[in-house]
Structure 1
Amino acid sequence: MRPLKDYSNIKGFNYSLASLKDYNHEIEVRNMGYAKRLTLNSCRLFMHMEDWKKDSERFLDNLRDFMTVAYDHGITTTPILLMPYFTDDQTPYWLSEDHSCSPIPGCYYPENYSIGEAYVSDIINAVASHPGLLFWDVMNEPSWHGFLLSVDDPQEKQKRLDMVWDFVRHFIKFVREKDPVNALGVGHTFIEDTEYSKTGEMVDIIIFHDYLETRSRVEATCRRAVELSQKYGKPVINNETGCLCRSNPYDMAVETADRYGIGWYLFELMIEEEGGMWSKVHGIVYPDGTVRDPSIVAAILGFFRNRNETAIQSDVNQEGHADKAIAAARDALEKRAGAEELLEAAENVANLLEAGELVPMAVPPTARIAAYRRSEKKDIREIRSFLYNLVCRLKEGCDIV
């Protein structure tokens, strides 16, 4: 798509094109269905050059298929064209220890630019005319890689950064020559990388990532993004944000970006399977369509928690139902009821606790109750202790003596 003046309407997500062996059209239809229900409208797509090297035809077929599925669901795509790549004799830098001054990836030497050029050319030729293409993201986070972070010597680090920025500027020009129509930008790690890389004049969109920890820090980044947007006369997008373990909750990131009129892409749409690199800290939707945190969904839809003095504290005992639930639980405990009656009493208490937000929701009490019910062998002693603790929490939350 040709460059737009404004991308503030973008509500996007990061996503990975499945590997050659794992790509499944029906799974992509399912996942893009989730994105559509969330009212998300753009996908930032990671791809694997190694798959292209193995079978470029299948790789490009999968890319076209994915972009068509996304477009059929009202979702545009911004393919990430480049990550660091390596020559055949190299060990990837991520296998090196921190501060090891790990080797520079071969891609940053001009004699190896041709490898990336062939890859990028194939992608451009395959999907530049696709109606779902929003813009090219020329490279992901050029300044945030192990062969840079592992270097302690300032001169060596600057030398490597200079190589990176030369590479980025080369490929901006290369993509522009191959496709003079569609918009492009660079997915910079930080907003200030726009200046360090000297790419502000070269791109159509100023792009940055933000995983900062507090509202004041995120707002400072947004203000700087607006300043650079005005300086270069270019629209701005935050195309990576939201991380639980970096004190960068999704709702805070979205609320702040919305306030500054900056389009955003959350990292990432799907919650990976247990054991995945990002499964515990990123993602909105599980494969079965459930979510980890409904506040993320609310934020995407433009609804945010009331954090000011007008917020009204809930009272789950307003009609005496907490008293009744506690009495029923006490009765079940005193008469040494069976598992089902204990769990029924526990669910009554748990629903009040969860509705009033009187308990942590990382593992909701009702999730534990469901697990107890699924178990073939029910540990009555454990269930009794669980119910007793729920009652104590409810009494404390409702100031019941």
Structure 2
Amino acid sequence: MFKWLPKLLVAAALAGASLAQPALAATGERWSQEEANAWYAKQPWLVGSNYIPANAINQLEMWQAETFDPKRIDLELGWAQDMGMNTMRVFLHDMAWHQDPKGFKRRLETFLQISAKHGIKPMLVLFDSCWDPDPKLGPQRPPIPGVHNSGWVQGPGTAALDDPKQHARLEAYVKDIVGTYAKDDRVLAWDVWNEPDNEGGGSGFYQPRESKHKFDRVAELLPQVFAWARTQKPTQPLTSGLWHNPDWNKLEGLNRVERAQVELSDVISFHTYAWPEDFAQRVQELQVYGRPLLCTEYLARGAGSTIDGVLPVAKKLNVGMYNWGFVDGKTQTRFPWDSWERPYTQKPPTLWFHDLLHGDGKPYRAREIEIIRALSRAPKNEVPAL
């Protein structure tokens, strides 16, 4: 199996070898390679999804008091536990915290209790640069028929990103949330900013409302977010995932945001929605940094990124994995990205793009669930006969 994998790639993954090391962060508080690899050695092989309950269209609908639904979350995380998942990547939102800090943390505590009940340790995401740049509190708009992720919102939005006076609020949010759970074993890790230099999404739909200075604002803020989180001395690692650029193993070829992601992350995370061979190539590029690797987004069936193809390779290489989408619901991520240009209102695609389960818990493809379960039960680096 996997005869096309370079021998060096497999050997480096198994040994946790370091081929090079980037410059350390100026704070001096970033975990050493040894500390990061020691932490990872204590973890099971990490496998889960990017999680939002089926009845929430975005982060605000998931976390606001009026729509927070612990019963639904409990049901869905029970399905995750049954298929062998042990982690989830979960997006928070600064505005939901700012609206009601104590209430927000009560709901987060409830979520962590439910997760722990099901043996799931979430990675919590603090900020996100994808999709709608103008988030608003209160009732969220309904999904656009036939369109992929039509209600997801950025955080911070353009207004907060462009207003230096609001950055103190962002700092307070990071320090409060990370500080509250800095020593909590129920939290696996902190993803401080999802795709920070993303220009939004929606095939240009949101571009007119994006900050004209977004890249520069994010490049200034991202190192600060890492620093704010580190003041709380978390026992969990910090990360921010690389997601574009054709070659990640040369720091001089990365932009300012990407360099910060590599140089400030305790563990290296990345996104790839491509074929298994491309996934393996990305892993090889990132192994030069000598740190644990987590693929925090994958699974785009129509683009060649599948459970069947990618997940066994990741298990062999000891890369933690989070597919995009768990239960089909209001995010509508079963529709492909091109639905922004051609909504699937007449005939839904036969092939789901993301997501694993129907809203009632029935698998989209039972074989995928069997693979996840078998891989999660096998020892680290061991791929059983599938």
Match of 1:38 in 2: 83
Deviation at 1:87, TM superposition (A): 9.6
- Distance change (3 Å), C-alpha of 1:8 and 1:75: closer
Match of 1:82 in 2: 127
Unaligned segments of structure 2, at least 5 residues? 1-30, 53-58, 137-156, 206-210, 336-352, 376-386
Deviation at 1:245, TM superposition (A): 3.9
Match of 2:10 in 1: none
2:293 corresponds to 1:239: no
* Alignment partners' CA distance in 1, 2:185 and 2:113: 8
2:175 corresponds to 1:121: yes
Q: Normalization by structure 2: what TM-score?
A: 0.64
Match of 1:278 among 322, 326, 333: 333
Unaligned segments of structure 1, at least 5 residues? 89-102, 152-156, 304-401
| Aligned-pair Cα RMSD in Å | 3.3
- Distance change (3 Å), C-alpha of 1:30 and 1:169: same
Match of 2:345 in 1: none
Match of 1:176 in 2: 230
Equivalent pairs, count: 279
Give the stretch that moved more between structures: 138-147 or 71-80.
138-147
Which amino acid letter does the alignment assign opposite residue 175 of structure 1? A
Deviation at 1:147, TM superposition (A): 8.6
Deviation at 1:105, TM superposition (A): 5.3
* Alignment partners' CA distance in 2, 1:201 and 1:295: 39
2:140 corresponds to 1:140: no
| Identity fraction in percent | 21
Match of 2:50 in 1: 14
* Secondary structure in 2 matching 1:198: helix
Match of 1:299 in 2: 371
Q: Does the CA-based 8 Å contact 1:109-1:163 persist in structure 2?
A: no
2:258 corresponds to 1:203: no
Give the stretch that moved more between structures: 19-28 or 186-195.
186-195
- Distance change (3 Å), C-alpha of 1:37 and 1:50: same
* Alignment partners' CA distance in 2, 1:269 and 1:67: 18
Between Structure 1 and Structure 2, the one with more helix by share is: 1
Match of 1:73 among 118, 140, 143: 118
Tell me the alpha carbon deviations over residues 288-308 of structure 1, each in whole angstroms, 9 at most, x when there is no partner.
2211111221221347xxxxx
Which amino acid letter does the alignment assign opposite residue 167 of structure 2? Y
* Alignment partners' CA distance in 1, 2:259 and 2:203: 21
Which amino acid letter does the alignment assign opposite residue 271 of structure 2? H
2:233 corresponds to 1:161: no
The 5 Å alignment of 1:184-263 reads 184-190=238-244, 195-196=254-255, 197-199=258-260, 200-212=262-274, 214-224=275-285, 228-230=286-288, 232-263=289-320
- Distance change (3 Å), C-alpha of 1:27 and 1:282: same
* Alignment partners' CA distance in 1, 2:242 and 2:203: 15
Deviation at 1:269, TM superposition (A): 1.9
- Distance change (3 Å), C-alpha of 1:73 and 1:87: closer
Tell me the alpha carbon deviations over residues 84-142 of structure 1, each in whole angstroms, 9 at most, x when there is no partner.
47699xxxxxxxxxxxxxx9654256443222112212212332233211111101111
* Alignment partners' CA distance in 1, 2:46 and 2:370: 16
Tell me the alpha carbon deviations over residues 207-231 of structure 1, each in whole angstroms, 9 at most, x when there is no partner.
001112x33322221221xxx333x
Deviation at 1:255, TM superposition (A): 2.3
* Secondary structure in 2 matching 1:204: coil
Tell me the alpha carbon deviations over residues 300-353 of structure 1, each in whole angstroms, 9 at most, x when there is no partner.
1347xxxxxxxxxxxxxxxxxxxxxxxxxxxxxxxxxxxxxxxxxxxxxxxxxx
* Secondary structure in 2 matching 1:201: helix
The 5 Å alignment of 1:380-391 reads none
* Secondary structure in 2 matching 1:45: strand
Which amino acid letter does the alignment assign opposite residue 325 of structure 2? E
* Alignment partners' CA distance in 1, 2:122 and 2:78: 15
Match of 2:144 in 1: none
* Alignment partners' CA distance in 1, 2:367 and 2:88: 21
Bigger radius of gyration among the two? 1
- Distance change (3 Å), C-alpha of 1:109 and 1:69: same
Match of 2:97 in 1: 52
